[in-house]
Amino acid sequence: MGSASLIGIDIGTSSTKTVVLSADGQVLAVASQETMVETPHPGWAEQGPEGWVGAVVATLRRALSDADIAPSAVAGLSFSGQMHGTVCVGADGRPLRPAIIWADQRSGEQVHDLVARLGKARLAAWTGNPVATGFMLATWLWLQEHETETVQAMRWLLLPKDYVRYRLTGEIGTEPSDASSTSMFNPALRGWSVPLLEELGLARDVLPEVSGSTAVAGGLLPGIAGEVGLLAGTPVVFGGSDQAVQALGNGVVAPGIVSSTIGTGGQLLAPTRRCVVDPELRMHSFCHVRQDLWHVETAMLSAGLSLRWLRDQVLDGMAYGAMADAAASVPAGADGLLFQPYLAGERTPHMDPRARGSFIGLTRRHGRAHLVRAVMEGVVFGMRQGLDVMLALGVPVDEIVGSGGATRHPLWLQLQADIYNCPIRRTCTTEAAAVGAAMLAGIGTGVFGDMQDAISRVVRRHDEVVLPDSARVDAYARQYVIFRGLYPALVDAVHKLGQIGA
């Protein structure tokens, strides 16, 4: 099977990407298509499930054409998918409404009431995870209160990538890494949390059966195969959550190696050999795509999104590279300016959908470059709070691998090295989530012997190490203490302002 090719599809929030990968790890083609997020009401975030399917069809066609390979050469395909979101599917297999995705904030009241009802101890024991707005459990509870007709007509609740895979194969199902992100799954047991469902009176039969991330879900349906130029029956492997799959694509499948991803959101992911649960529920505990591993994950909602906001609303569409170049001309600490990156609420460590962003310390001397640097530093300070939670729980952190769009400019990498006070390795893997999905396809179809074989054949050596600078480490350590104090000092005022602006 040395000449076999594999396809990985990453269904993200802002775009869908398809990669064609050779069995020896060469990326033969990449195709991408943007996808839009609709906000029909303030704080809402929705996407059309059929829009994902259309983007998959379009990118598959282009990638296969660019790779110039025969359909018979494709051994299989698999998925990486944005986490937490909810697709309500009726008995006819069609979506009943637009998908409510991870960035949605409408279910804040349901989250508050649920946490008050169950308490952190039971949530930790039953699901190992906090409940947040945009998670499937919170969305389901909101739907029960506000869209009873949708709930009554619902046959299945599916995660985004699971809906797309269903449309390609006709088979309903899910797998542990993504199911972990619903807040209805027990990652330690790798199954749906029956005590939680029973306590809340939620129907187990609308949740799909769970299979392994590398299991074959089914074959490509003739209609969709004809549309994209593949053979009917081409094996489709279950896949995984975008974070677990990008970790595989970056070779982060062993304890001690941590990935730091700064894209639209920001995540730190650390593999563990046992299910580690934070009793304070400040971070997440999910299943990895490798069946004998779990991973802890910290999440912030507005990482690159904060920089995009600054670009679009303040800097008149200035190019990201030019923004980072300008920020590099400003001293560490942005001359006393701090930014709280809570433009869409925050998860780790605050788990507060009502958190709001702010600039602190603004003076007449601060210019555009200072604003950019403060935003970038604020994002990494927020990520550092997640790293502190991991370390406090005894999670080993020996090496940090930088990934995501933030690896494109050296300032992002240097900020992480200095603020984390840890060397940062930049991965050579491009489109790590889509490549990781292709690796899952290869494992599931036997092109690769196992996960380690896939990693040895696909994941390249990291091409550079960015070291902390001791002077900046000290400067950031002092500023980080101030940053940590901002949220508790301002939270009451921010919540009151949120009521005015609601």
Q: Which residue has the tokens 């029973």?
A: 198
Phi, psi of 145, deg, nearest 5? -85, -30
Which of 10, 162, 178, 242 is labelled catalytic? 242
**Mean pLDDT to the nearest integer, 302-313:** 94
Strands (DSSP E) contained in 301-363 are: 338-340, 358-360
Nearest 5 degrees, angle CA 42-CA 498-CA 183? 65
Q: What is the reported pLDDT for 406?
A: 77
Q: How far apart are the C-alpha atoms of 114 and 207, rounded to whole Å?
A: 20
Distance CA 358, CA 340 (A): 5
The neighbouring-strand residues paired with 31 are: 18
pLDDT of residue 32: 96
What would the 3-class secondary structure string for 338-353 be? EEECCECEECCCCCEC
pLDDT at 20 over 90: yes
The residue type at 320: Y
pLDDT for 129: 95
Alpha-carbon Rg of the chain, whole angstroms?
A: 22
pLDDT score of 500 more than 90: no
CA-to-CA dists, residue 400 to 88, 442, 458, angstroms: 37, 26, 19
SS3 state of residue 201: coil
Q: Comparing 5-242 with 304-388+470-501, is the CATH topology the same? A: yes
272 pLDDT band, cuts 50/70/90, is very high
What is the mean predicted confidence (pLDDT) over 468-493? 97
**According to CATH, what is the number of the domain 304-388+470-501?**
3.30.420.40
Is 479's pLDDT higher than 70?
A: yes
Residue 311 has a pLDDT of 96
Q: Are 405 and 263 in contact (CB under 8 A)?
A: yes
What is the four-CA torsion angle of 252, 78, 187, 285, rounded to 10 degrees?
40
Lowest-pLDDT range of 41-45, 63-67, 234-238: 41-45
Whether pLDDT at 441 is above 60: yes
Compute the half-sphere exposure of residue 441: CA atoms within 13 Å on the CB side of its CA.
34
Is residue 35 within 8 Å of residue 18, measured between CB atoms? no
- Does the pLDDT value for residue 3 go beyond 80? no
Per-residue confidence at 460, pLDDT binned at 50, 70, 90?
Answer: confident
Name the token pair of 160: 């985004």
| Per-residue DSSP letter, 461 | P
Predicted model pTM: 0.90
Tell me whether residue 242 is one of the annotated catalytic residues: yes
Q: Environment class of residue 28 by beta-carbon count within 10 Å: exposed (0-12), middle (13-18) or buried (19+)?
A: middle
How far is Cα of residue 50 from the mean position of the Cα atoms in its chain?
Answer: 21
For residue 431, pLDDT beyond 50: yes
Percent share of the chain, pLDDT over 70: 99
The predicted structure's pLDDT at residue 502 = 55
Q: Is residue 322 very low, low, confident or very high in pLDDT (cuts 50, 70, 90)?
A: very high
Please write down the HEC assignment for all residues of 359-410: EECCCCCCCHHHHHHHHHHHHHHHHHHHHHHHHHCCCCEEEEEEECHHHHCH
Per-residue pLDDT band at 405 (split at 50, 70, 90): confident
pLDDT band at 1 (very low <50, low <70, confident <90, very high): very low
The pLDDT tens digits of the residues spanning 182-236 come to 999 999 999 999 999 999 999 999 999 999 999 999 999 999 999 999 999 999 9
| 250 three-class SS | coil
Fold topology of 5-242: Nucleotidyltransferase; domain 5 (3.30.420)
Per-residue model confidence (pLDDT) at position 461? 63
- Mean pLDDT score across all residues of the chain: 94
**Which two three-digit tokens encode residue 379?**
């994002």
What are the structural domain ranges in the chain?
5-242, 304-388+470-501
Q: What is the pLDDT of residue 462?
A: 62
Task: Express each pLDDT in 76-108 by its tens digit.
Answer: 999 999 999 999 999 999 999 999 999 898 998
Do 66 and 31 contact (CB within 8 A), yes or no?
yes
What is the maximal distance between C-alpha atoms in the chain? 65
Q: What span, in angstroms and rounded, lies between the C-alpha atoms of 87 and 398?
A: 38
Burial of 499: CB neighbours in 10 Å, binned 0-12, 13-18, 19+ = exposed
Q: Considering the chain, what percentage of its residues have pLDDT values greater than 90?
A: 89
Q: Are strands 358-360 and 185-186 parallel, antiparallel or unpaired?
A: unpaired
Q: Does residue 52 carry a pLDDT above 60?
A: yes
In this prediction, residue 492 carries a pLDDT of 95
Residue of 481 and 264 predicted with greater confidence: 481
